[in-house]
């Protein structure tokens, strides 16, 4: 793996962001053992910080997995705010439903089943924050579809823009060549979009954050 931050720096940062909630710890262990990709803790913390500043009424997440980040977003959402989250994998949906029930945040989470590319065109809500964390090859299409649903001054967040360090590397392992190509192409697209003012945070796997003009 190419290196974004060296492990000494990462370990130093981690001591200040200890996850202690037993349900979240259980979810993280579950995801690790089943090899289900979830957001890194430091990236969750950054998103939670944006939520606390922005106080969004409505959030959209594209790619729920087991609801690891969904639940942590719901926890810091203001009363009466809602997160819509879309997941296409039936297996992940079953796990996500059970964790959402156990979290007690069912009233703040609307889990939508299906492919986001088919669901977004039927959404009538506008959002104050959108978080894109789905298949890399679909990023450009999902971005184009969902950016129209973001309110002015809304925040658009995308994970994996530094993709294990490979987009910036000269050498990329064979199994990561296609995904790296998708991320490089998306990065050019995202950071040249005239709809957003954007920054790439070297946090976790690289978080792109744009504010809607």
Ligand X SMILES: C[S@@+](CC[C@H](N)C(=O)[O-])C[C@H]1O[C@@H](n2cnc3c(N)ncnc32)[C@H](O)[C@@H]1O
Number of Cβ atoms within 10 Å of the Cβ of 12: 11
Answer whether 178's CB lies under 8 Å from 155's CB: no
Beta carbon nearer to ligand X, 8 or 45: 45
Beta carbon nearer to ligand X, 134 or 149: 134
Beta carbon nearer to ligand X, 8 or 94: 94
Angle at 185 between CA 146 and CA 157, to 5 degrees: 40
Distance CA 203, CA 4 (A): 8
Which runs of consecutive H residues, i.e. helices, occur in the chain?
7-14, 22-34, 41-54, 68-76, 90-103, 116-119, 139-147, 177-191
Beta carbon nearer to ligand X, 1 or 170: 1
Binding residues (CB under 6 A) for ligand X: these are 37-39, 63, 65, 68-69, 86-89, 92, 115-117, 133-135, 138
At closest approach, how far in Å is the CB of 150 from ligand X?
17
Beta carbon nearer to ligand X, 148 or 153: 148
* Closest by CA position to 66, among listed 33, 28, 40, 104: 28
């Amino acid at each position: 793996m190419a290196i974004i931050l060296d492990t000494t720096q990462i370990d130093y940062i981690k001591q200040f962001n200890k996850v202690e909630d037993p349900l979240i710890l259980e979810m993280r262990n579950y995801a690790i053992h089943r090899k289900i990709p979830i957001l890194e803790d430091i990236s969750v913390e950054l998103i939670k910080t944006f939520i606390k500043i922005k106080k969004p009424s409505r959030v959209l997440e594209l790619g729920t997995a087991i609801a690891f980040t969904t639940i942590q977003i719901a926890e810091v959402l203001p009363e009466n705010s809602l997160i819509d989250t879309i997941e296409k994998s039936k297996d992940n949906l079953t796990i996500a439903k059970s964790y959402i029930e156990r979290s007690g945040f069912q009233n703040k989470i609307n889990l939508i089943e299906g492919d986001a590319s088919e669901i977004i065109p039927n959404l009538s809500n506008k959002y104050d924050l959108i978080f894109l964390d789905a298949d890399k090859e679909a990023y450009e299409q999902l971005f184009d579809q969902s950016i129209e649903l973001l309110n002015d001054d809304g925040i658009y967040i995308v994970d994996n823009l530094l993709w294990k360090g490979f987009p910036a590397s000269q050498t990329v392992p064979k199994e990561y060549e296609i995904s790296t190509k998708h991320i490089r192409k998306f990065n050019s697209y995202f950071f040249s979009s005239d709809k957003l003012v954007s920054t790439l945070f070297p946090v976790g796997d690289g978080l792109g954050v744009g504010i809607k003009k």
